[in-house]
Amino acid sequence: MTVDACMKVESTTGQSLVRITTLLSDGSLTMTDMVKILHPAIRGGGNDVTETEVANIIYESGVAKSMVAVGEVLSNVLSGARGSDDEGESEEKKTEEVTE
């Protein structure tokens, strides 16, 4: 995710990325928050989707599987992932896994 996308996630959720990670780890992250996190991550991977489409993907894939995808996105951001080709392939793979 880009810096702008990270800031958008913090702004739309009203939480820091570290706090969001804590909410995820204790099972308190809402589906709305997952949409607010995955939407810019998926769009950043080059997929033109709406928040409603992301919500449907989460519902169809299952909340547990989507929580894993959110965790991977947050882990990449918090560990300093830089937008390299490897990261792009990883983000694309995660998007495919969520949509399967």
DSSP string, 68-83: HHHHHHHHHHHTT---
Tens digit of each residue's pLDDT (9 = 90 or more) over 7-56: 999 999 999 999 999 999 999 999 999 999 999 999 888 889 999 999 99
Confidence (pTM): 0.75
Whether the Cβ atoms of residue 45 and residue 95 lie closer than 8 Å to each other: yes
Which of 63, 61, 1 lies closest to 37 in space, CA to CA?
1
Tens digit of each residue's pLDDT (9 = 90 or more) over 64-83: 999 999 999 999 999 885 55
Q: Over 80: is that where the pLDDT of 84 sits? A: no
How far, CA to CA in Å, does 72 sit from each of 10, 31, 64?
17, 16, 13
Domain boundaries, the chain: 3-99
Q: Over 60: is that where the pLDDT of 94 sits? A: no
